[in-house]
């Protein structure tokens, strides 16, 4: 089957085999998928003055992926309300979830990135980003229906446990905000600083409840840091409640 397509070198053939093994199809435009696996740290080459990397495909893939997941959840849970569907979609397409998924799919071994950087620290998101870029490439080459079929059959059904996500994956930021509204407390997520720079830049978020300092967290995205800080705050509040009950 590989011989039916025109791949010009070993790198193209290896990528085509990988895509077929994981997703069940051979790409027609292999260059598009090579772009999807090219991190910005190695985007020194330019085409017509434009730096070549997967960021634009990542942007497109993010939109397509959210739409496909949203449609899948809408059909799978016909009686659930908008809030539930939105929360479930957020869990599935979150950066942490996509990073874990990309590891299962072997994306970390396929992405081209600058070897001088540690992909397990500042580059921990390259797999998730590449998965979104891959989705964008697939959409451009084959269209929405084919992309939906591939992602549902080869990703969602094979690698995601929707029931487990529904049951256990807690969005602590949402829980904290819902609690604050119910109990009439003010909650604020303050961006209080950064650590590192460039690809290793991290954001420091501090939670304040009624101007009292609670959980602080650091992550490579503001949203990620907010979730971690919210989780620390939630557990700290549980400990406070337990102590008050014991006394």
pLDDT recorded at residue 241 = 79
Residue with the bigger pLDDT between 110 and 220: it is: 110
pLDDT recorded at residue 247 = 60
Among 58, 108, 132, 219, the one annotated catalytic: 132
Active-site annotation holds for 219: no
Note the pLDDT tens digit of each residue in 202-220.
889 999 999 999 999 888 7
pTM of the model: 0.68
Q: What percent of the chain has pLDDT over 70?
A: 86
Active-site annotation holds for 210: no
pLDDT range class, residue 50, cuts 50, 70, 90: low
Distance CA(16)–CA(188), nearest Å, equals: 47
Residue with the bigger pLDDT between 114 and 74: it is: 74
Among 14, 55, 58, 62, the one annotated catalytic: 62
DSSP per residue, 217-247 = EEESSHHHHHHHHHHHHHHHHHHHHHHHHH-
Q: What percent of the chain has pLDDT over 90?
A: 48
Angle at alpha carbon of residue 8, lines to 5 and 13, rounded to 5°: 65
Q: Whole-number mean pLDDT of the chain? A: 85
Note the pLDDT tens digit of each residue in 172-206.
888 899 999 999 999 999 999 998 877 668 889 99
Question: Among 52-56, 138-142, 148-152, which stretch is predicted with the lowest mean pLDDT?
Answer: 52-56
Distance CA(101)–CA(165), nearest Å, equals: 13
pLDDT recorded at residue 121 = 42
The answer, yes or no, to whether residue 49 has pLDDT greater than 60, is no
212: nearest Cα among 242, 240, 193? 240
pLDDT recorded at residue 106 = 92
């Amino acid at each position: 089957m590989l011989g039916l397509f025109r791949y010009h070198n070993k790198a193209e053939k290896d990528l085509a085999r990988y895509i077929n093994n994981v997703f069940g199809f051979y790409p027609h435009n292999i260059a598009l998928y090579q772009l999807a696996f090219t991190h910005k740290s190695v985007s020194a080459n330019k085409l017509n003055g434009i730096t070549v990397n997967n960021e634009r495909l990542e942007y497109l893939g993010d939109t397509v992926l959210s739409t496909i997941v949203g449609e899948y959840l809408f059909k799978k849970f016909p009686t659930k309300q908008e809030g539930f569907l939105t929360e479930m979609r957020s869990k599935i397409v979150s950066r942490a979830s996509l990073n874990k998924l990309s590891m299962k799919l072997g994306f970390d071994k396929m992405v081209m990135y600058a070897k001088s950087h540690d992909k397990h620290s500042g580059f921990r998101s390259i797999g998730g980003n590449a998965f979104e870029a891959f989705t964008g490439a697939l959409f451009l080459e084959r269209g929405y229906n084919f992309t939906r079929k591939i992602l549902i059959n080869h990703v969602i059904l094979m690698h995601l446990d929707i029931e487990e996500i529904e049951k256990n994956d807690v969005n602590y930021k949402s829980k904290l905000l819902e609690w604050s509204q119910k109990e009439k407390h003010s909650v604020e997520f303050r961006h209080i600083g950064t650590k590192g720079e460039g690809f290793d830049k991290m954001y420091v978020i501090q939670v304040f409840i009624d101007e009292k300092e609670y959980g602080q967290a650091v992550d490579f995205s503001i949203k990620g840091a907010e979730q971690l800080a919210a989780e620390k705050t939630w557990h700290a509040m549980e400990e406070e409640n337990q102590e008050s009950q014991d006394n």
